[in-house]
Amino acid sequence: MAPSTGTVHPVRYLALFGVLVVALYALVFFTGDKSATPKLGIDLQGGTRVTLTARTPDGSAPSQDSLKQAQEIIETRVNGLGVSGSEVVIDGDNLVITVPGDDSAQARSLGQTARLYIRPVTGSIPVATRDANRTATTPPPATDVPTTEAPATGAETPAPAPQNRPFPAQEPPTAEATPPVEVAPISGVTPTPAPETSSDGTDAGDAAAAEITAARALRQSTDPAVQEQAVANLDCSVPDPLRGNDDPALPLVACSQDGETIYLLGPAIIDGQEIADASSVFNSQQSRHEISLSFKTTGSNTWAQFTSANIGKQAAFTLDSKVVSAPTIQGATPAGSATSITGSFTADSAKELANTLKYGSLPLSFAASEAETVSATLGLASLQAALIAGAVGLVLVLIYCLVYYRMLGVLIALSLVLSGLMVYAIMVLLGRYIGFTLDLAGMAGLIIGIGMTADSFVVFFERIKDEMREGRSFRSAVPRGWARARRTILSGNAVSFIAAAVLYVLAVGQVRGFAFTLGLTTILDVVVVFLVTWPLVNMASRSAFWSKPSVNGLGAVQEVARERKVAAASSAKETQA
């Protein structure tokens, strides 16, 4: 049985909706970057496109399986960074990354190889000191180089002390009880142009393979004399041909991330694949952003053994053949404990590095070309067309409602306007906090949502008519019609939401934007119908003005009810006779 009108408090429902709208717009205008416009997708606002060219150690063409795996990893990074509206497609032997907006550094960072190894530090020297020494003195002959054997390959081999090397050791940085790792923020992948065709006819792939082979022979040699030569000649200011292609089983001469220090490193003790999780956190005690790094079982045990056997020595975290951190081990780290990467991080740079480490190494090394600006001229025209289509559809719906439901159509118009206000605020907040971008497909979902909301109104009003045809007044028909209509409205919206959710999970690219906005408008339809339309119609049913048939457009329905009543009375008299 429908509840009595005395138990309904429509003002409370409207007040709750008002609080939601005020809260949303308070977040829009008083939090974040204060921007009051939604973020638009690349098809509406333009963006940047970066082409990544695969580089293999032997110069051969990359396999399609490797390219697909790289594509999946980069797409996962896109989701982890909250960059909605981005696309990663395979174009021949290249990956093409398209990111909305004008931040080309973000597009470059998505293609970062991120091959992480942890290596023992056997020596280090500032570049300025090396250059000063090289200018002041002649390099010693190879016969004067000590014949100390290079470190043996193995995860648990202690690294030789830095003073055993023939170049000055860098003063170890200070560290805390748990081994912190001091790094500079990673701003993106350093562009490495693809090798051009050489004069003797060697193609670009062979030239790249030759570069990598030469770099390995010099910087990954086990011969101390060759190592000294690599330290003396390494230029940290130029793109690294070995980036992401170093052999973890061999020593490595590498630059620091800032290019100010050169390190001699032993073979890797832990592969980046042993990382279990990486997350950006804010250390409230130190007032700084950090990356918390935890290892899988094997890596955690190796790290615990290494730190306990090498207290006072340095361990280098190398990312794509560069040292991003070389902390001094102050104490043993128990197995299962996390390691912190600290430095001059912002919230965005800490999140970027954490996601790069968390979502794994790419199976290929890539050289990034310069970013290309994507024009939004066609997108703006499409945006105008979509807005016009939405406005025309909304006007037609309102005209139909006014003609068919008279003044009740005004309540529908008010409900749609309030729904539009909520949608706009939510679009702004989603773009600000999770990077959601509104593209043409998403706008299509919003326009379809207008029709779905209108469907709910039609179901409700037709239920009211059914009750009035049975002889009830407008006031008594409203709560009874609502009790029957709400189940239908909930069922219909549940089906639509499930369809949108399935489409979102299974689809890719812009289709996911359509599914997302469709699901969002479905939820808002329920909110508006329950918190706005139903309370307004309930209040109208109690008003003498709105109860007039000439106002609510229900005179024909009441006439049908009277005719049915007269016919029923006549039938009863004939039966008695």
Interval 464-517: pLDDT, tens: 888 888 878 888 888 999 988 999 999 989 999 999 999 888 876 667 888 899
Identify which has the larger pLDDT, 25 or 508: 25
pLDDT class of 155 with cuts at 50, 70, 90: very low
DSSP for 404-459 reads HHTTHHHHHHHHHHHHHHHHHHHHHHHHHHS---B-HHHHHHHHHHHHHHHHHHHH
Q: What is the pLDDT of residue 523?
A: 92
Average pLDDT value for residue range 525-530: 91
User: E-strand spans in 108-196?
Assistant: 116-126, 180-183
Q: What is the pLDDT of residue 103?
A: 58
Say whether domain 42-108 belongs to CATH 3.30.70.3220: yes
The contacts found for 372-378 with CB under 8 angstroms, 24 or more apart, are 372/48, 372/49, 372/50, 372/51, 373/46, 373/47, 373/48, 373/49, 373/102, 374/42, 374/46, 374/47, 374/48, 374/49, 374/98, 375/46, 376/40, 376/42, 376/43, 376/44, 376/45, 376/46, 376/47, 378/43
Interval 251-308: pLDDT, tens: 999 998 888 999 999 999 988 878 888 888 888 888 888 888 888 889 899 989 998 9
Task: Give me the CATH topology for the region 114-188+208-361.
Answer: Gyrase A; domain 2 (3.30.1360)
Task: Tell me which of 164-173, 458-467, 494-503 is least confident.
Answer: 164-173
Most confident by average pLDDT, 214-228, 402-416, 498-512: 214-228
Q: Answer yes or no: is pLDDT of 82 > 60.
A: no
Average pLDDT value for residue range 442-460: 83
Identify which has the larger pLDDT, 543 or 179: 543
Interval 84-114: pLDDT, tens: 566 787 877 788 887 776 655 666 666 666 6
Q: Where are the domains of the chain?
A: 5-40+376-570, 42-108, 114-188+208-361
Average pLDDT value for residue range 437-461: 83
Q: What is the pLDDT of residue 379?
A: 60
Q: What is the pLDDT of residue 255?
A: 92
Q: Is 37 exposed, middle or buried (0-12, 13-18, 19+ CB in 10 A)?
A: exposed
* φ and ψ of 356, to 5 deg: -60, -45
Per-residue b or e along 452-482, where b marks 16 or more CB atoms closer than 10 Å to that residue's CB: bbbbbbebbbebbbbbbbeebebebbbbbbb
pLDDT class of 380 with cuts at 50, 70, 90: low
Task: Tell me which of 12-21, 170-179, 284-293 is least confident.
Answer: 170-179
pLDDT class of 324 with cuts at 50, 70, 90: confident
Q: What is the pLDDT of residue 265?
A: 94
pLDDT class of 399 with cuts at 50, 70, 90: confident
CB 124 within 8 A of CB 263: yes
Q: What is the pLDDT of residue 108?
A: 62
Q: Do domains 42-108 and 114-188+208-361 have the same CATH topology?
A: no
Task: Tell me which of 86-95, 524-533, 535-544 is least confident.
Answer: 86-95
Identify which has the larger pLDDT, 53 or 364: 53
Please give the structure tokens belonging to residue 304: 């615990």
CB 110 within 8 A of CB 99: yes
Query: Which CATH number is correct for 5-40+376-570, 1.10.1740.10, 1.10.1060.10, 1.20.1640.10, 3.40.50.300?
Result: 1.20.1640.10
Average pLDDT value for residue range 142-162: 34
Q: Answer yes or no: is pLDDT of 19 > 90.
A: yes
Q: What is the pLDDT of residue 110?
A: 66
Rounded Cα gap, residues 508 and 504, in angstroms: 8
Q: What is the pLDDT of residue 67?
A: 85
pLDDT class of 132 with cuts at 50, 70, 90: confident
Average pLDDT value for residue range 11-31: 91
Which candidate, 457, 464, 462, places its Cα nearest to that of 478? 464
Identify which has the larger pLDDT, 104 or 160: 104
CB 263 within 8 A of CB 323: yes
Q: What is the pLDDT of residue 181?
A: 41
DSSP for 234-258 reads --TTS--TTTT---TTS-EEEEBTT
Q: How far is CA 70 from CA 54, 73, 363, 540, in A?
A: 10, 5, 6, 60
pLDDT class of 198 with cuts at 50, 70, 90: very low
Q: Answer yes or no: is pLDDT of 387 > 50.
A: yes
Q: What is the pLDDT of residue 203?
A: 55
Rounded to the nearest integer, the mean pLDDT of the chain is 76
pLDDT class of 211 with cuts at 50, 70, 90: confident
CB 65 within 8 A of CB 59: no
